[in-house]
Amino acid sequence: MIKRNIFVFVLLLGILVLTTDALALIPGQHFGFYDKVVLPGATTWEHSLDNNVFIPDLNGNEPLIIEHALLILSLNFNPNAIGRFKACVKLDGESLGIIDYYFNNNLLKNRRWWQSITNPDILDLIANRPAEIRINVLKGTLNYVRHSVLLGNGEVAPEPISMALVGAGLAGLPIAVRFRRLLRK
């Protein structure tokens, strides 16, 4: 009887270990990412966070928690008649901020604009890996975006609750069988 109980305990422990160790990287492991897109002529584009843009490389579909991100744009634009260029930058429909420059003349301008991203809702959108950037021009003319850089850091999320539920369900099967036997007596 004792050997059988030890066997059941070891079996259940093994099942729980297997179900909680399904990720390529250990939950809680920190990573960084850097994705640069070169886009002459575009006002809408996507940063696709493939496994090779992460350091260390991800080699699966690990759930991610993005802790901090930064978007850097290199812009080529003309201000409008009153010497102003203004545009709204969005990531997957969520506003990242306003690009707003004033000028004394209407000469062509090349500028870098960056925005630190700390909004948890937007960081969650980045964690889904494809991130669409859209620029809506409000004043002036955007000739093109030279390049767009999305970078940041985060950590691998804990094991999804579904895997924990599967493990708990498998672990509970023998207990349910014993409980059922006790009810029959």
pLDDT value at position 151? 96
List strand residue ranges (DSSP E) for 39-83, in order: 44-48, 54-55, 64-78
* Measured distance between the N- and C-terminal CA atoms of the chain, rounded to whole angstroms: 19
In this structure, the answer to whether residues 34 and 44 fall within a common structural domain is yes
How many domains are there within the chain? 2
CATH number for the domain that contains residue 152: 2.60.120
Share of the chain above pLDDT 90, in %: 46
Q: Which of 24-28, 82-86, 162-166, 177-181 has the highest mean pLDDT?
A: 82-86
Of the listed ranges 23-37, 103-117, 159-173, the one predicted with least confidence? 159-173
In this structure, the answer to whether residues 91 and 175 fall within a common structural domain is no
When pLDDT is cut at 50, 70 and 90, the band that residue 83 belongs to is: confident
In this structure, the answer to whether residues 151 and 81 fall within a common structural domain is yes
In this structure, the answer to whether residues 34 and 121 fall within a common structural domain is yes
In this structure, the answer to whether residues 53 and 80 fall within a common structural domain is yes
- Tell me 80's DSSP state: -
In this structure, the answer to whether residues 105 and 60 fall within a common structural domain is yes
In this structure, the answer to whether residues 108 and 134 fall within a common structural domain is yes
pLDDT value at position 116? 96
Give the closest residue to 45 by CA, choosing from 146, 152, 154, 151: 146
In this structure, the answer to whether residues 137 and 165 fall within a common structural domain is no
58 burial type by CB count under 10 A (0-12 exposed, 13-18 middle, 19+ buried): buried
Cis amide prior to 174 (ω within 30 degrees): no
Query: Is residue 149 within 8 Å of residue 72, measured between CB atoms?
Result: yes
pLDDT value at position 24? 53
Strands 94-102 and 84-91: antiparallel
pLDDT value at position 57? 83
Pick 141 or 57 by higher pLDDT.
141
pLDDT at 124 over 90: yes
In this structure, the answer to whether residues 50 and 109 fall within a common structural domain is yes
* pLDDT tens by residue, 15-72: 655 554 444 557 788 999 999 999 867 789 999 998 889 998 887 778 889 999 999 9
In this structure, the answer to whether residues 67 and 124 fall within a common structural domain is yes
In this structure, the answer to whether residues 59 and 137 fall within a common structural domain is yes
In this structure, the answer to whether residues 91 and 109 fall within a common structural domain is yes
Domain that holds residue 111: 27-157
Average pLDDT, the chain: 82
As a whole number, mean pLDDT of residues 77-97 equals: 92
Of the listed ranges 40-44, 46-50, 93-97, 162-166, the one predicted with least confidence? 162-166
Strand, helix or coil for residue 59: coil
